[in-house]
Amino acid sequence: MKEQIKTGEPKLQAAIKMAFEHFSLPPIEGALVIGKRAPVGLNALSNAFETMAPGMFKPIKVNNPIIEGILVRASVLRKIPQSKLEPLILRYAEKIMDETDSLHVSINIHIFIEEEVTLK
């Protein structure tokens, strides 16, 4: 038995997939790495975030052929010194971005403390 082929208007369909997440301002959890030719530069972003959330971020100008700078949450820098965090971010970011990129960096810090006490 032969299949009948219907002629006429083709059927147009669309599959839609959505995901919803909480959006908070400012939208940077840890840091933002900004390329040298990114559409919005370090100074402009820093000024915008300073207006939205005064004192919450620190702009870090870097000497790098690809990256102009890093905008880091001040709370992160209270836990990890800039001298340790900056080279760590640069080491990985420069491998995966070009001058026109801006990369969001999620930073999760776990601090472990172990201390001995005398019981008596």
pLDDT at 4: 63
Asked whether residue 70 is assigned to any structural domain, the reply reads yes
Q: Taking the model in full, what pTM does it have? A: 0.75
pLDDT tens string, the chain, 120 residues long: the values are 566 666 677 888 888 888 776 566 677 889 999 999 999 999 999 999 999 889 999 999 999 999 999 999 999 999 999 999 999 999 999 999 999 999 999 998 998 898 998 998
Q: Which two tokens stand for residue 101?
A: 């990129």
Instruction: Convert the pLDDT of each residue in 57-79 to its tens digit.
Output: 999 999 999 999 999 999 999 99
Range of the domain at 75: 31-105
- 53 lies in some domain: yes
Write out the DSSP string of 17-62.
Answer: --------SS--SSEEEEETT-SS-HHHHHHHHHHHSTTSEEEEE-
* Domains in the chain, number: 1
Instruction: Check residue 28 and give its pLDDT.
Output: 83
Cα dist from 43 to 17, 21, 28, 70, whole Å: 36, 28, 16, 10
In this predicted model, what pLDDT tens digit does every residue of 10-22 receive, in sequence order? 888 888 888 776 5
Angle, CA 88 vertex, CA 83 and CA 90 arms, to 5°: 100
The verdict on residue 60 lying in a domain is: yes
Calculate what percentage of the chain has a pLDDT beyond 70: 88
In 3D space, the residue among 52, 103, 58, 51 whose CA is nearest the CA of residue 76 turns out to be: 58
Average pLDDT score, the chain: 89
